[in-house]
Amino acid sequence: MTLDGRGGLVDLRSDTVTHPTPEMRMAMHEAELGDDVFGDDPTVNALEERAAALLGKEAALFVASGSMGNLVAQLGHLGRGQETIAGASTHIVSDEQAGHAVVVGTSIKQMAERPDGTWDLDELNDAFRDPRDLHQPITGLVAIENTHAHTMGRPLTLDYTRTVAEIAHAHGVPLHVDGARFFNAAVALGLEPRELAQPADSVTFCLSKGLACPIGSLVVGPRDFIARARRGRKLVGGGMRQVGVLAAPGLVALKDGPAGMIERLAEDHANARRLAEGLAALDGIESAGGLAQPAPGPLDPGRVQTNFVIFRVRRDRAEFMDALHGRGILMVEYAHNTIRAVTHYGVDATDVERVLAACAAALRETSPGEVAAATAAPAS
Ligand SMILES: Cc1ncc(COP(=O)(O)O)c(C=O)c1O
């Protein structure tokens, strides 16, 4: 499939590159509008109600991005000088310009992550600060990421989420889920979004990734928390006015069944798996190492559970990427000298075959690699 304005490229850099569907564009055109800072944009209100209902929470807040969602969630949960417990590789820790410190005034206690994205639960218990000790910050939040990007987009299970929530709650601390790709996790696990969200106090999810909206994320949680997050959104300049034009595609995306964009994420997962299977069969492609696939050796397609494929190439990486680019295929350099390909709306099974043929050709024409220096992962 060729996407409008994309000139035949197969763009696997991220699911953020998706364009809105024709129905979304129509919904933007026809959206009923008001001033959302006064709370009277009916389209935004409808989107927030829908998001809250879908995740089984009292209220929701529409924000410009996933980063803003996580930031205002922290503003809603935390006071200055408090501390969040979060995974070392996660977006909140590594890819949000330390907004927790700059804006919220908090620190983060970083947890070592295992190749399935989980933490050792004894280490989690030990990570809570002692509130009686005058020297220490007070732990005010636990944050997990689902799906977990650096483990190849693996979903964290309901059982695990429940256990982390129970531990957090036993310490009197809420659990926030950075669910930029929360619906990918729910679909992969075969769960209703509200089931997976149930143990969490709050969730951020993105409309502008696999759900193909042009912009926007939602934060869901208890009504009083959302009221504080709304104040936080105004603080960071995120109070928007006739923003129903941007909320309207979200209402399309969150529809039930084939009319919406949630169910179809299963196609992206199947395409990612097919891509990994094809890559694994190519001489010169290997395991990503690190959290994505710790065991050295061939790429294991079984690691692919959602829409991320992360691998290494026994070639000069830059040359390989250039050779792919020359064939109209875009991927992105990822952490620890790996390459990431993300499937999404606009990439179909035929595109996957084209990508595999391009990878085979690029491997043939590029030189055996000097391993390039590790680079940081991109933020999306
Ligand atoms: C796990 C995760 N959280 C948060 C974000 C932030 O989303 P945004 O780019 O909309 O700020 C991203 C972006 O890709 C992400 O991957």
pLDDT score recorded for residue 376 = 47
Angle at 378 between CA 68 and CA 271, to 5 degrees: 100
Rounded CA-CA distance 107/95 in Å is 15
| Structural domains in the chain, sorted by start | 10-16+263-365 (3.90.1150.10), 22-254 (3.40.640.10)
Rounded CA-CA distance 41/245 in Å is 10
pLDDT 10s digits, 77-136:
999 999 999 999 999 999 999 999 999 999 999 999 999 999 999 999 999 999 999 999
* Residue type for position 216: G
Record the pTM.
Answer: 0.95
| CB-based contact 202:174 (threshold 8 Å) | yes
Count CA within 13 A, CB hemisphere, residue 272: 33
Residues 6+ apart with CB under 8 A from 282: 356, 359, 360, 363
pLDDT band of residue 187 (cuts 50, 70, 90) is very high
pLDDT 10s digits, 317-352:
999 999 999 999 999 999 888 999 999 999 999 999
| CB-based contact 50:262 (threshold 8 Å) | no
Residue 139 has pLDDT above 90, yes or no: yes
Residue with tokens 């000139």: 7
Q: In what order do the strands lie in the sheet containing 308-313?
A: 285-286, 308-313, 338-342, 332-334
Q: What percent of the chain has pLDDT over 90?
A: 91
Joined tokens for residue 36: 């959302």
Q: What is the mean pLDDT of the chain?
A: 94
Residue 2 has pLDDT above 50, yes or no: no
pLDDT band of residue 368 (cuts 50, 70, 90) is confident
Q: Whose CA is nearest to atom 4 of ligand 1?
A: 66
pLDDT score recorded for residue 290 = 85
- Mean of pLDDT values over 177-183: 98
> From the CB of 149, is ligand 1 less than 6 Å away?
yes
Joined tokens for residue 185: 């996790």
Q: Minimal CA–CA distance to 165: which of 136, 192, 138, 196?
A: 196
Residue 378 has pLDDT above 90, yes or no: no
Joined tokens for residue 96: 């949000």
Rounded CA-CA distance 176/129 in Å is 18
Judged by DSSP in three states, 84 sits in strand
Instruction: Give the strand pairing for 329-330 and 308-313.
Output: unpaired
pLDDT band of residue 196 (cuts 50, 70, 90) is very high
- Mean of pLDDT values over 184-197: 98
> From the CB of 380, is ligand 1 less than 6 Å away?
yes
Angle at 132 between CA 129 and CA 136, to 5 degrees: 45
List residues bridging with 339 in a β-sheet.
311, 333
pLDDT 10s digits, 201-225:
999 999 999 999 999 999 999 999 9
Rounded CA-CA distance 55/35 in Å is 25
- Mean of pLDDT values over 23-50: 98
- Cα(70) to centroid of ligand 1, in Å? 9
Joined tokens for residue 292: 């994505």
The DSSP secondary-structure symbol of 337 reads T
> Which of the listed residues 90, 310, 332, 380 should we mutate to test ligand 1's pocket, taking the one with most ligand atoms within 8 A of CB?
380
* Residue type for position 59: A
Residue 123: Cβ within 10 Å count: 11
| CB-based contact 92:108 (threshold 8 Å) | yes
| Higher pLDDT among residues 289 and 244, named by residue | 244
Residues 6+ apart with CB under 8 A from 132: none
> From the CB of 91, is ligand 1 less than 6 Å away?
yes
Residues 6+ apart with CB under 8 A from 278: 352, 353, 355, 356, 359
List residues bridging with 63 in a β-sheet.
217
Judged by DSSP in three states, 272 sits in helix
* CB-neighbour burial class of residue 334 (10 A; exposed 0-12, middle 13-18, buried 19+): buried
pLDDT score recorded for residue 370 = 53
The DSSP secondary-structure symbol of 58 reads S
pLDDT band of residue 7 (cuts 50, 70, 90) is low
Residue 137 has pLDDT above 50, yes or no: yes
Joined tokens for residue 95: 């890819």
- Cα(284) to centroid of ligand 1, in Å? 31
> From the CB of 144, is ligand 1 less than 6 Å away?
no
Residue 367 has pLDDT above 90, yes or no: no
- Mean of pLDDT values over 283-292: 91
Joined tokens for residue 362: 């690029």
pLDDT score recorded for residue 372 = 43
Residue 306: Cβ within 10 Å count: 29
Residues 6+ apart with CB under 8 A from 97: none
- Cα(2) to centroid of ligand 1, in Å? 25
> From the CB of 180, is ligand 1 less than 6 Å away?
yes
- Cα(283) to centroid of ligand 1, in Å? 33
